[in-house]
């Protein structure tokens, strides 16, 4: 991910208060009154980032700026699935490897299943606050990772909610014979998640991960051949 000047500008602030103060000018004071009222308004997210969004974006941007600094750095998960994700984090963030996660997870008696674009989910802390993921907490095993309505495919057995989303990395295709297909947007290669498929795609490997926490976990690792 290439950082923009706006991204780098956000990194210049030492604190959230410094960021809010930078937004105040004479025109805004004229319309909204004194400084305290304006700061209070900005804290709600009006024409500004909330503190949660500010902290999340700065965390992600610091990691993006330094590819050697990972969310999983200095953390050693005991859960085998999380160890596998930690091993793949750097290569996914650098675009060398593209991992699709299939998982089934029981939450409060409801099964949630789906496919997660790992790299897209790593970026979601910056892009989508509604379904932002605290990856530090995930790798520290303080929170649990499971599919959300923002992922490639999401299904909730209790509500029957079934959602699919294309991402920056994948377009979802449906074939009457092969079922769901994920087409990588960089090298245009197809990934076939069907467990009965003869092949899961060019430069793609399927790996089942044993887990005591999740009902089922399967990783599809695609080595990306970028056309540039």
Distance CA 217, CA 117 (A): 14
CA angle at 194 for the pair 188 and 196, rounded to the nearest 5°: 125
Nearest residue to 122 via CA among 114, 113, 110, 131: 131
What confidence score (pLDDT) does residue 63 get?
62
What confidence score (pLDDT) does residue 78 get?
94
Q: What share of the chain is helix, strand, coil (3-state, %, to 5)?
A: 30, 25, 45
> Global pTM?
0.71
What confidence score (pLDDT) does residue 49 get?
86
Nearest residue to 56 via CA among 139, 112, 137: 137
Q: Using DSSP, state whether 192 is helix, strand or coil.
A: coil
- 10-residue mean pLDDT profile of the chain (228 residues): values are 61 87 85 85 86 78 63 91 95 92 94 96 70 88 94 95 95 93 95 94 96 94 78
- Those residues with Cβ within 8 angstroms of residue 152's Cβ, 6 or more apart along the chain or in another chain: 100, 114, 115, 116, 117, 120, 164, 165, 167, 170, 172, 182
What confidence score (pLDDT) does residue 12 get?
81
What confidence score (pLDDT) does residue 189 get?
96
């Amino acid at each position: 991910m290439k950082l923009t000047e706006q991204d780098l500008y956000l990194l210049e602030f030492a604190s959230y208060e410094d960021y809010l103060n930078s937004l105040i000018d004479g025109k805004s004071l004229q319309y909204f009154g004194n400084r305290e009222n304006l700061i209070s308004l900005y804290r709600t997210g009006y024409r500004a980032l909330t503190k949660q969004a500010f902290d999340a974006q700065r965390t992600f941007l610091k990691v993006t700026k330094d590819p050697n600094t990972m969310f999983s750095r200095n953390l050693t998960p005991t859960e085998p699935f999380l160890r596998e994700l930690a091993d793949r984090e750097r290569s996914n963030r650098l675009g060398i490897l593209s991992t699709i996660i299939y998982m089934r997870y029981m939450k409060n008696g409801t099964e949630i299943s789906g496919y997660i674009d790992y790299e897209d989910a790593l970026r979601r802390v910056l892009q989508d606050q509604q379904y932002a993921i605290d990856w530090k907490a995930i790798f520290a095993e303080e929170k649990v990772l499971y599919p959300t309505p923002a992922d490639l495919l999401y299904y909730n057995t209790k509500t029957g909610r079934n959602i699919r989303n294309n991402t920056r990395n994948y377009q979802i295709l449906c074939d009457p014979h092969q079922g769901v297909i994920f087409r990588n947007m960089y090298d245009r290669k197809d990934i076939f998640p069907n467990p009965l498929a003869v092949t899961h795609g060019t430069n793609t490997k399927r790996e089942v991960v044993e887990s005591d926490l999740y009902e089922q976990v399967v990783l599809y690792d695609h080595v990306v051949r970028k056309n540039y």
